[in-house]
Homo-oligomer: A and B are copies of this chain.
């Protein structure tokens, strides 16, 4: 098996790369070209030293200006999203986030508006001029996103859904790849490699915390993930402070920590009426809190350049 080498050619970051899919014996890196084997994969800073920027509409994610995507956990109605979109735009957000297909822990809670949610995202994105980001849960839903949503999010629960990752590797759409809540950084970078090795280099790594034993927060936000990612990979880094916080009182602290540690982008849950939200009610910010947060993280980013 795999004794005859077959090569696949992809063009990534403007270079032609030849990839061999050999049968390595272990969960270690196998052979792409010898150069890549030694250097740890296409995500590695050894393969590409200069930081990568990912363009979403007119927003450029990577070293430089801090990018902020904001919006509700779930799209609930056109009115709701329009109000949120207009407000976060006015307050300085760069992108609009919102879930249409929602991965909910139980089947008996609000599962998102689906296709209709995508339509609303597109409409509000166009009305406000904000590029949009929304989660795709399955290959079969891609048809609804294609041409409507500017950046596709792969959520924590699908971070090792390799079928979905391979599929997205064959598109050009920018991907916001969250870490699996039970995965190491090394596993997460290998998930990114599934997309990169298909020829899609438009990947932003979005850290959303991991499982830990602490019960004072919803997930454990390991700040160490940021310098480790920066050292190992050229890909831009986003942090979602809302999910690890699990409580709106903690979101600003975590957002500040993320930017101070080196994050290039933040994805933040903001709602026009958080207490009535159909999902993640406790952790969504109201406009006032979001306004304060955005001022503070921007001030912080300025002194870091």
Contacts and interface: CB of A to CB of B under 8 A. Distances in A.
A213 B226 contact: no
B221 A108 contact: no
Interface residues of A, number: 96
Contacts of A184: 213-216
Residue among A1, A105, A164, A186 having the largest count of chain B Cβ atoms under 10 Å? A105
Contact of A216 (B25, B221, B224): B224
A92 interface: no
Contact of A254 (B25, B261, B281, B296): B261
Residue among A111, A157, A296 having the largest count of chain B Cβ atoms under 10 Å? A157
B157 A162 contact: yes
A25 B281 contact: yes
A71 interface: no
Interface of A: 1-2, 19, 21-32, 41, 76-77, 103-111, 137-141, 157-158, 160-164, 166, 180-187, 190, 193-194, 197, 209-217, 220-228, 230-232, 244-245, 249-250, 253-254, 256-262, 276-279, 281, 296, 299-300, 303-304
